[in-house]
Structures are given as C-alpha cells and as structure tokens.
C-alpha cells in the first residue's frame, strides 16, 4: 500500500510539473514522441492505447508517436517499458529545362569555397576528390520546382527522394507525401544543396564543395521552413535504412541537417544513434541563437556541429568590380582574416560545438515566388555553414569509405585552423564598419580546412 501511495504521489508531482512546463490545460491534445526500453509489442501498444492514440511506429529504434491529452504524458513516462516521452519538439530552417552541364567541378570559385580551401581562386579545385560515389542526404525543405535549372539532374537521387510531413501539435502522425520534395516554396533546402553540389548561375557553372556527390533530398520541414522532431527522426531512420538495405551499394552516406531547436528530443536522439551505429555520418548547424546557446540536434555530441564564420573581405572594395565570385582569400589561411558571426550559437555547458565554416553572406539559388525565373540570394546562418562541412566529409569518405562519425569529427577538429577569441572590424554591405567579437565558446576547434582534413584522412 505504501509503495502504491508513493507511486501515486510521484505521478501527481510529474503531472504538476508537466502542466507547468507545457503551459497547457490538462485536457489539451498534443503530439508526443515515446522511446521504449524494449521492443514494440502488441501488449505494449494495447497498454499505450489506453492513454491515447498511437500513430507512427519506428521499430528500428523502438519508438513511436502518439496523440494524448497533456494529463496523460506523466502517466506514460511512468510506465515500466517507457525510456522517455516528450512533446514533439519544433524544428526550424514542374519539369523545366535540364542543366546541360553534368559536372560543376570546373566551375567558378566563390569566396566561401576558397576560404575552406576546396578551391583556389584562379587555379580551380585544390584536391582530386570531388565526392564521387558518396550520397549526401539533405534533410531540409526539399527542392524548388525548377531545381533542374540549378542542378545537374544526375546529381539528385530522385528515386530515393522523400517527403515526411506532419507531427507535433494536434496532428500527431507523420505522413509521406509523394513528390512534394520537389515542390518546395521555401527555397532553404535548395540553397543548402547548392553549397554541396554547386549550381548553374544563368549558364555559368559555380563550383560546389563536393560537386560529384549524389544528393538525396528528404523533406522534413514544411513550406514555412519549420517542422517537428518526429518528422526529422523519420527522415534520419529512412536514410539509415537505405544504407542498411544495400540499395545504395557500398557508398558512404552523409546526412546534412541545417535545422534545429532548443531541446534534444529523445526519439530524434535515438534515430541519430541508430544512424551513427550503422555508419552514417551526421553534420548539423549549431543554431542562430547567439549567447542563448546551441540548437539540437547539432549540440548532441555524436553530431558534427558547425558554427558560422565570416571573412573580413566579403564586402571590402578591392577594385576591378571584385565580387563574391572573384574574390581571392589569401593563402595560407590566416585566422586574423576571419570572424564568428554575432548570430552563431555559442556552446553552453553540456553542448558540443565542433568546427566553424562560412555562414555569412553565402550566395546560392533562392526563390521568393513559385515562378519559372532563376533567382539568387545572399543568405547568412549556420544553415549555410553546415553544408560546407557535410561536403568536406563527403570528400573525406570518398578517400576512405571506412571512416566512422567519431573519426571524421576528430580529423576535422585536429586539422582545423584555431580561431582564438577576439574582435574584427567587418565591413557591412551598407559600407559601415561593425565590430564582431566572440569568446572561446563560439568557435569549436576552429576554422574547417578541406585540404588539411583530406591530408589527415588515412
């Protein structure tokens, strides 16, 4: 009797804490993610069904999603077969003429590729590696309707592209939407993909970090650039299952996630662990929250996380109509020429920041309407930093397909160019000098360098 009383008091306390945390009425319906400490079974599903509606199953990681009333969350957490349960965490970030060029490795250089030593202005690519034979899954908003006008069709794995929608709020389940991956209205995923592959600039090929890699677009964010961790977990599990199934052959697989939120979701964490355990390497943005700390999943240790750096010469007038696509970053790379952006998330206790890469004023395809015209925009954010590193990892695993996530992360960190805490006077597009300052919690191991990382890859 005493044991039952204590259990009841624990549940009541958990209920009170849940209501306070969620700020919701106890009868409000929410979507939750549940991680089990055992295999999913009919008995467990029946037991959970007494507390809400079970929606999606992820048997690979012993997880599921549910629709429940807020008052049931603490009760579910107390069940003996439940390892963790939490509200679904929010995550933020038509046929046309085909691009004639199938290989952008001879494309023009840009300052950000020069900055990470993938290209050298006037001399082309620095390395023999270009991502051949590597799959890079971009978990994002998908691609815009006219993606074929920006990217070589051969570089996009249409047969494996996928869209996961739903999750969170009062929806609960995650559904698949055929072909929606190539009808994005947001453009975020298209811009991210352009850093990895390069792109067509109105007839001129622009180089990419890994221009011969094959991108698998996986839409996990909606047309507003936001979504839920349940959809992200589905995307990670889907890509991992592709690798396990053998349909990709022996090709290495890298995942880029230019997205995040303030909490680590238990099911998303389990999906990451599942991917890493099966040889998938995950790269993610650190977040754009500045001193408020990193976003997840980037801050989770097995993920290679990326802060946003900038170059003091981004807007500096140097004559001869110099611009983003004909600026020469001095070699060897001098950390005094670089800075950490003010928006880039700083590492808080318990978080793991690995390296920094260009994330300030990066140019790429970006549409503000659904028309057929081509358009290009400068974007800033750690969303832009992450694909630089994902592309470098693609080059590394092209050289050595046996690299694990931990080994790849270690190589990137030990080969990075240290960027100590400091300040730089940076010229803004308006022509005003702005002081950019940062501490040691903003840089990780320093500026990522593709040539050094490849040299250190066995």
383 noted as active-site residue: yes
Q: Which residue has the tokens 């490795």?
A: 105
Q: Which of 188, 191, 309, 451 is catalytic?
A: 188
Under 8 Å CB-to-CB from 13, ≥6 apart: which residues? none
List Cβ neighbours of 208 (8 Å cut-off, separation of 6 or more).
Answer: 104, 107, 113, 194, 195, 196, 197, 198, 199, 391
Query: What CATH number is given to the structural domain containing 16?
Result: 3.30.70
Catalytic residue among 140, 265, 342, 354: 140
10 Å Cβ neighbour count for 251? Answer: 17
Tens digit of each residue's pLDDT (9 = 90 or more) over 21-44: 445 576 788 999 999 999 999 999
Rounded to 5 degrees, φ, ψ at 191 are: -65, -45
Same domain, 318 and 362: yes
pLDDT at 283: 98
95 in any annotated domain: no
Residue 99 covered by a domain: no
**176 pLDDT exceeds 70?**
yes
- CA 352 – CA 364 distance, rounded (Å): 28
Q: Which of 238, 270, 240 is nearest to 62 (CA)?
A: 270
Alpha helices in 170-327 (DSSP H): 188-197, 229-245, 266-277
The 3-state DSSP class for residue 164 equals: strand
Indicate if the pLDDT at residue 56 is higher than 80: yes
pLDDT at 209: 97
Q: Are residues 139 and 219 in the same domain?
A: yes
Give, as one character, the DSSP assignment of residue 59. Answer: G
CA distance 412 to 66: 39
Ranges 49-63, 96-110, 164-178, 319-333, most confident:
49-63
Q: Which residues have C-beta within 8 Å of that of residue 44, sequence separation ≥ 6?
A: 36, 38, 81
For the stretch 352-391, pLDDT in tens is: 999 999 999 899 999 877 777 888 888 999 999 999 999 9
Q: In what order do the strands lie in the sheet with 82-87?
A: 53-58, 63-69, 29-36, 82-87
Residue 92 lies in a domain: no
Percent of the chain scoring above 90 in pLDDT: 71
pLDDT for 172 beyond 70: no
Same structural domain for residues 43 and 164?
no
Flag whether pLDDT at 5 surpasses 50.
Answer: no
User: Is residue 398 assigned to a domain?
Assistant: yes
Report pLDDT for 208: 96
Query: What's the pLDDT score for residue 8?
Result: 32
Residue 173's pLDDT is: 65
Among 76-80, 129-133, 375-379, the least confident range = 375-379
Whether 104 is in a domain gets the answer: no
pLDDT at 269 over 60: yes
CA 334 to mean position of chain CA atoms: 27
Q: Is residue 9 located within the same domain as residue 154?
A: no
Residues 429 and 289 grouped into a single domain = yes
Residues 115 and 64 in one domain: no
Q: What is the pTM of this model?
A: 0.89
Question: Do residues 215 and 189 make contact, with C-beta atoms less than 8 angstroms apart?
Answer: no
Best CA proximity match to 355, nearest among 402, 315, 392? 392
Same domain for 316 and 243: yes
Mean pLDDT of the region 390-395: 98
Q: Which of 230, 309, 383, 386 is catalytic?
A: 383
Q: Please report whether residue 215 resides in a domain.
A: yes
Residues 177 and 31 in one domain: no
- State the CATH number of the domain containing residue 272: 3.40.50.200
Say whether both 189 and 130 belong to one domain.
Answer: yes
Domain count for the chain: 2
Same domain, 48 and 124: no
* Confidence (pLDDT) at 394: 98
List of E strands, 288-413: 304-311, 338-340, 355-358, 362-365, 376-379
- Domain encompassing residue 55: 2-85
Query: 415 vs 185, 256, 355, 382, CA distance in Å?
Result: 38, 21, 10, 20
Average pLDDT of the residues in 225-249: 95
> Is pLDDT above 80 for 170?
no
- Determine the distance from the C-alpha atom of residue 241 to the mean position of all C-alpha atoms in its chain, rounded to a whole number: 18
pLDDT bucket at 449, cuts 50 / 70 / 90: very high
14: confidence class by pLDDT, cuts 50, 70, 90:
very low
Task: Please write the tens of the pLDDT for every residue from 399-423.
Answer: 999 999 999 999 999 999 999 999 9
Question: Per-residue pLDDT for 303 more than 60?
Answer: yes
Q: What is the pLDDT of residues 428-444, one digit of tens each?
A: 877 788 999 999 999 99
CA–CA dist 424, 315 (Å, integer): 14
The pLDDT-based confidence of 99 (bands split at 50, 70, 90) is: very low
**Rounded Cα–Cα distance for residues 10 and 116 (Å):** 53
Phi, psi of 426 (to 5 degrees): -115, 130
> Would you state the pLDDT for residue 297?
96
- Collapsed DSSP state (helix, strand, coil) of residue 31: strand
Instruction: Based on the residue annotation, tell me whether 7 is a catalytic residue of this protein.
Output: no
Task: Identify whether 97 is part of a domain.
Answer: no
Contact between 452 and 415 (Cβ < 8 Å): yes
Integer Cα distance of 131 and 144 in angstroms:
23
Query: Is 140 in the active site?
Result: yes
Q: Which two tokens stand for residue 19?
A: 């209501």
* The pair of three-digit structure tokens given for residue 215, joined into one six-digit string: 């991108």
Pair 24, 154 in one domain: no
Q: What's the average model confidence in pLDDT over 178-191?
A: 90
Q: Give pairs for 75-81: CB < 8 Å, separation 24+.
A: 75/11, 75/15, 75/51, 76/32, 76/34, 76/48, 76/51, 76/52, 77/14, 78/7, 78/10, 78/11, 78/14, 79/47, 79/48, 81/36, 81/37, 81/38, 81/44, 81/47
Q: Is the pLDDT of residue 237 over 70?
A: yes
pLDDT-derived band at 12, boundaries 50, 70, 90: very low
* 22: in domain: yes
Q: For residue range 193-230, what is the model confidence (pLDDT) as tens digits? A: 999 999 999 889 999 999 999 999 999 998 888 889 99
pLDDT at 282: 98
Residues 242 and 162 in one domain: yes
**pLDDT given for residue 10 in this prediction:** 31
| pLDDT at residue 314 in the model | 85
């Amino acid at each position: 009797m005493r044991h039952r009383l204590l259990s009841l008091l624990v549940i009541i306390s958990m209920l009170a804490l849940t209501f306070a945390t969620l700020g919701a009425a106890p009868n409000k319906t929410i979507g939750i993610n549940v991680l089990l400490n055992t295999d999913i079974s009919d008995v467990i599903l029946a037991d959970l069904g007494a507390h809400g509606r079970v929606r999606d199953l992820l048997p690979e990681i012993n997880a599921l999603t549910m629709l429940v009333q807020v008052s049931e969350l603490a009760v579910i957490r107390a069940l003996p077969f439940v390892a963790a349960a939490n509200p679904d965490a929010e995550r933020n970030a038509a046929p046309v003429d085909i691009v004639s060029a199938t290989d952008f490795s001879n494309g023009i250089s840009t300052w950000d590729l020069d900055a990470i030593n993938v290209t050298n202005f006037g001399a082309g690519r620095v390395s023999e590696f270009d991502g051949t034979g590597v799959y890079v899954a971009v978990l994002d908003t998908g691609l815009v309707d006219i993606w074929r006008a920006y990217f070589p069709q051969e570089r996009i794995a249409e047969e494996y592209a996928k869209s996961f929608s739903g999750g969170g709020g009062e929806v609960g389940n995650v559904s698949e939407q055929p072909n929606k991956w190539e009808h994005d209205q947001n453009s975020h995923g298209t811009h991210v993909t352009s850093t990895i592959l390069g792109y067509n600039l109105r007839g001129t090929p622009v180089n990419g970090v890994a221009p011969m890699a094959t991108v698998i677009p996986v839409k996990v964010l909606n047309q507003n650039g936001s979504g839920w961790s349940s959809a992200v977990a589905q995307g990670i599990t889907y890509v991992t299952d592709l690798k396990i199934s053998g349909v990709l052959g022996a090709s290495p697989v890298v995942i880029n996630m230019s997205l995040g939120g303030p909490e680590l979701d238990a099911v998303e964490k389990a999906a990451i662990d599942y991917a890493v355990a099966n040889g998938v390497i995950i790269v993610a943005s650190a977040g754009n929250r500045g001193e408020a700390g990193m976003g997840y999943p980037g801050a989770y240790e097995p993920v290679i996380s990326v802060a946003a750096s900038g170059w003091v010469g981004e807007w500096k007038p140097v004559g001869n109509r110099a611009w983003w696509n004909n600026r020469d970053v001095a070699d060897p790379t001098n950390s005094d020429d670089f800075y950490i952006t003010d928006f880039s998330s700083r590492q808080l206790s318990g978080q793991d920041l690995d390296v920094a890469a260009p994330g300030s004023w990066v140019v790429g395809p970006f549409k503000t309407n659904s028309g057929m015209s081509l358009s290009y925009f400068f974007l800033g954010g750690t969303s832009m930093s992450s694909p630089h590193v994902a592309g470098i990892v693609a080059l590394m695993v092209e050289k050595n397909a046996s690299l694990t996530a931990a080994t790849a992360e270690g190589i990137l960190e030990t080969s990075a160019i240290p960027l100590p805490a400091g300040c730089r006077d940076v010229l803004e597009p308006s022509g005003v000098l702005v002081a950019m300052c940062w501490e040691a919690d903003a840089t990780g191991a320093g500026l990522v360098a593709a040539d050094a990382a490849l040299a250190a890859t066995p």
